[in-house]
A and B are shown apart, each in its own frame.
Chain A
């Protein structure tokens, strides 16, 4: 009898599943940035350029 060459059930991943996985991850990333955006670093107030 021939053995199966892929894992059964949820472990079987097609190319579409693979792309879906990253697409959903990307959407979560965008939502996270919307909730907690990166802060613009604060410039110091007292300094000067040296020539």
Chain B
């Protein structure tokens, strides 16, 4: 008797024969039942500033208990964490950390939130889901840094417990997703609209890679899509690329390109556009109306926070985000 199963978690929809492991390397078909291979076995555990995720409009200056397991649903050639994202769970050094222990440790280290990050949290969906439920009960917030390559039903399910999501919108072209990441753009855009619909706070990260996705016309199109479908209040982080993994032949992104991209994004209507991986004034949160600095940053550190409630103390403009 055939015991084939189909995974319904990500748009790849792997069909697995018995004892076959999915493309994400974290799910196995045993006896016609699909099991997670990474439940309670994170390979990366750390207490990070929330700014590192990056979240700039979500509890600034606080720390996030961050976890990840091995595996990923995509295979980006520029992956910054490829040592764990492109590895099988048996190839990494894993901790033994059940969901309640994750929440207990987050509380022990005074973390206001737990972040599911580093690799793609979709691959450890069950672990994230169970942990998020316990965290919600104990008043610890949940955030994830995701590529958004997940199907609608699981995303809606986990969104019930998710407070914020940082979505990697890697480029605004199907060609880029298929050639460089081994995925598709459409499901990522769908995920963004689902998150918006579920009331999850969204921030978007776009890694600007020289020659591959640094075309200003495409960046403008992407920003217009964000404004139209998600709103002008969604913070956009334009990150500097450094050579990694299989894209060692490309140079780091010139800071001028990032400045141009930021100008383009703001012209398209986005109110909060930041530059990441480079020290500059573009790390600060400014009031979109009076342009005064509200939250000053130096790298991952918050150097000043002038926000009064959720408003600019100088002109009273409401600043979108989760501040308390």
The finding on whether chains A and B are genuine partners in a shared complex, rather than unrelated, reads yes
Residue in B35, B40, B153 with the greatest tally of chain A CB atoms within 10 Å = B35
Contact (Cβ within 8 A) A48 B6: yes
Chain A neighbourhood of B15, CB < 8 A:
50
Contact (Cβ within 8 A) A44 B6: no
Partner of B35, one of A44, A46, A49: A44
Contact (Cβ within 8 A) B32 A49: yes
Contact (Cβ within 8 A) A46 B9: yes
Partner of A47, one of B6, B39, B98: B6
Contact (Cβ within 8 A) A47 B129: no
Q: Tell me whether A42 is interfacial, beta carbon within 8 Å.
A: yes
Contact (Cβ within 8 A) A44 B4: no
Contact (Cβ within 8 A) A42 B9: no
Contact with A along B13-40 (1 / 0, CB 8 A): 0010000000000010010111111011
Chain A neighbourhood of B9, CB < 8 A:
44-47
Partner of A44, one of B2, B27, B153: B27
| Distance between Cα atoms of A29 and B30 in the complex (Å) | 27
Q: Tell me whether A12 is interfacial, beta carbon within 8 Å.
A: no
Chain B neighbourhood of A49, CB < 8 A:
3-6, 32
Nearest residue (CB) in A for B35 is A41
| Distance between Cα atoms of A45 and B157 in the complex (Å) | 10
Contact (Cβ within 8 A) B129 A46: no
| Distance between Cα atoms of A47 and B34 in the complex (Å) | 7
Nearest residue (CB) in B for A36 is B96
Which chain A residues (1-43) contact chain B, with CB distance < 8 Å? 39, 41-43
Given A42-B126, A43-B33, A43-B34, A48-B5 contact (CB < 8 Å): yes
| Distance between Cα atoms of A41 and B35 in the complex (Å) | 7
Contact (Cβ within 8 A) B36 A41: yes
Chain B neighbourhood of A50, CB < 8 A:
2, 4-6, 15
| Distance between Cα atoms of A9 and B64 in the complex (Å) | 59
Query: Closest CB-CB distance, A44 to chain B, in whole Å?
Result: 4
Given A41-B35, A41-B36, A47-B7 contact (CB < 8 Å): yes
Q: Tell me whether B145 is interfacial, beta carbon within 8 Å.
A: no
Contact (Cβ within 8 A) A44 B126: yes
Query: Closest CB-CB distance, B150 to chain A, in whole Å?
Result: 9
Query: Closest CB-CB distance, A37 to chain B, in whole Å?
Result: 12
22 A-B residue pairs with Cβ-Cβ distance under 8 Å, sorted by A, are A41-B30, A41-B36, A42-B35, A42-B36, A42-B39, A42-B126, A42-B127, A43-B35, A44-B34, A44-B35, A44-B126, A45-B125, A45-B129, A45-B154, A46-B8, A46-B9, A46-B151, A47-B9, A47-B27, A49-B4, A49-B32, A50-B5
Instruction: List 4 A-B pairs, minimum CB-CB distance, nearest first.
Output: A42-B39, A47-B34, A50-B4, A44-B34
